[in-house]
Structure 1
Amino acid sequence: MSNRSTARTAAAVAMAGTLALLHPAQAHATAIGSTPVAAFHYQVGGVTMKIPTGCLFTHIIRGGGTNITYQNAGVDCGFVGALNSGFCNWRIDFTYADTDNRRYRTSRGRTHTECKIDPMRNNGPQRLPRYGRACAHLNINGVRRVSQCHHITK
């Protein structure tokens, strides 16, 4: 492979990754998307916890049409974000809505009281009754902090 071909391939891969971050992915086979976690503060047992910038919430779906065979969501932190004390009292929920954005199903995760730098949750296979959106939501101390969604289309 020539250097020019390698450079074109690398540029195409970088562009595809950038586009994946900008628009909800279509869940024809596999959809992967990440959303930055905005910096925020919250209280745990009278102690102020700070989540700095540098973390991404990533949501992955595999399947086809309305059949989801695998679903996962979690947080990855780098740079300054990796230095935080973790996410305490966290929960990850998965929601499903139709094309009119009416939510018809929620898979509520368990609230984890421990502090974790990389909270993650898998969700079981789903056979959705209609097309629309599948979303993952990160809740900290009962407050939704970030969401990431994929369109489920024909």
Structure 2
Amino acid sequence: MFAHLMARTTTTVAAASVLALLSPAQAHATAIGSTPVASFDYQVGGVTMKVPTGCMFSHIIRGQGKDITYQNAGVDCGFVGALNAGFCNWRIDFTYANTGNKTYRTSRGNTHTECKIDPMRNNAPQKLPHYGKACAHLNINGVRRVSQCHHITK
């Protein structure tokens, strides 16, 4: 009886394994990247603000194929960077380009006049018409300061 039960269990497990190998797996992709924010100075109301080294601009994207289900970008600062007054008049934009590097869509963020040490933005899910790349850009006082991109491929 035990041998029969063991043979039946082994057959069931083997059949399930074969089915798992034959069924197409859902391909989900996650990409996370960070780019250092270079030190720079800018003016706010006649006051010079200095962004020191030690900050990273990170961009995360999740999805499948040309469908982006989640996208977020923001700044994290450590060491000396964590001591700065923050980023004032900041905006985070998301752009999408085809494989020829031609931008066909921009999701422009709101400009935030408050100063924040850790500006961050989520973007709505996207259904892209083309493979290519998705980028996030940090703008301070209307000037693009740093970008981080991920390639969207088959």
TM-score using structure 1 length: 0.82
- Separation (CA, whole Å) in 1 of partners of 2:93 and 2:60: 13
Q: CA deviation at 1:28?
A: 5.4
Match of 2:81, SS state, is: helix
Instruction: Provide the residue aligned with 1:18 in structure 2.
Output: none
Instruction: Give the aligned residue type for 1:82.
Output: A
Q: CA deviation at 1:57?
A: 0.1
Query: Which structure 1 segments of 5+ residues have no match?
Result: 1-26
User: Taking every aligned residue pair, what percent have the same amino acid on both sides?
Assistant: 86
- Separation (CA, whole Å) in 2 of partners of 1:85 and 1:106: 29
Instruction: Provide the residue aligned with 1:69 in structure 2.
Output: 69
Q: Does 1:49 align with 2:49?
A: yes
1:102-129 deviations in Å (ceiling 9; x for gaps): 0000000000000000000000000000
- Separation (CA, whole Å) in 2 of partners of 1:118 and 1:106: 22
Instruction: Provide the residue aligned with 2:88 in structure 1.
Output: 88
Q: Which runs of 4+ in 1 moved over 4 A?
A: none
Larger Rg computed on CA atoms: 2
Output the aligned Cα RMSD.
Answer: 1.0
TM-score using structure 2 length: 0.82
Instruction: Provide the residue aligned with 1:29 in structure 2.
Output: 29
Instruction: Provide the residue aligned with 2:60 in structure 1.
Output: 60
Instruction: Provide the residue aligned with 1:152 in structure 2.
Output: 152
- Separation (CA, whole Å) in 2 of partners of 1:80 and 1:28: 37
Provide the aligned length of Structure 1 versus Structure 2. Answer: 128
Query: Which structure 2 segments of 5+ residues have no match?
Result: 1-26
- Separation (CA, whole Å) in 2 of partners of 1:99 and 1:115: 36
CA contact (8 A) 1:28 1:152 kept: no
Match of 1:91, SS state, is: strand
